Amino acid sequence: MPADIPKIPFEAVRYKKRAIEDEAWIKSFLHQAAYISIAIPCEGEAYIVTRNFVYDERQQSIYFHGALQGRTFELLAHRPRVCLTAVEMGRLLPAPQAKNFGVEYRSVVVFGHAYRIENSQDAAQVLQMLLDKYFPHLSPGVDYLPLAKEDIEKTGVFRVEIESWSGKQHVLPKEAPGAFYFGRHP
């Protein structure tokens, strides 16, 4: 890192007014967030991929899956250090001056190491956790065929051991004049 850049912990939130230090809030957000973006270092460049995920509070880990071939798998095999972010966009906030326009949001940034789960029983359990998160109204053996061993063996299942995290939000009261959701203009 260049000498003139201050050494600030990665998980530190610069704008303290928006920082969330309540771990219960961070955990709750990770349980309900729809997806994560994963940043992986790649020969001096940043590589980012978006994935469905599940947060396991007991293991203090995040799990996701992907192909056993390709850039993500290869990079994680050699560079397990990752940064993840989960974001939820709220309303767009117009203002009298362009410089004051804004957007509501909630987000969590996570730092950790990603490892492939080699044990097929553990991988199957994580894959079922993902199915349960995204399709809670469907049951294996009733609404769909359960995971087959050969399918599990063809899938890369990854665990990110969480080392640190930070939460952040900017949400205004319900009565924000002119506020609207993206794609739903007033």
Buried b (16+ CB within 10 A) or exposed e, 32-62: ebeebebbbeeeeeeeebebebbbbeeeebb
Q: 92-138, pLDDT tens digit by residue?
A: 999 999 999 999 999 999 999 999 999 999 999 999 999 999 999 99
Write the DSSP string, 88-126.
EEEEEE--SSGGG-EEEEEEEEEEEEEEE---HHHHHHH
Q: Rg (Cα) of the chain, in Å, rounded?
A: 19
Whether 144 and 83 have beta carbons less than 8 Å apart is answered as no
Whether 103 and 165 have beta carbons less than 8 Å apart is answered as no
Q: 126-185, pLDDT tens digit by residue?
A: 999 999 999 999 999 999 999 999 999 999 999 999 999 999 998 887 888 889 989 887
Q: Side chain identity at 124, as an amino acid letter?
A: A
Q: Which two tokens stand for residue 117?
A: 């789960």
Q: Check pLDDT > 60 for residue 3.
A: no
How far is residue 161's CA from residue 89's CA, in Å, rounded to a whole number? 26
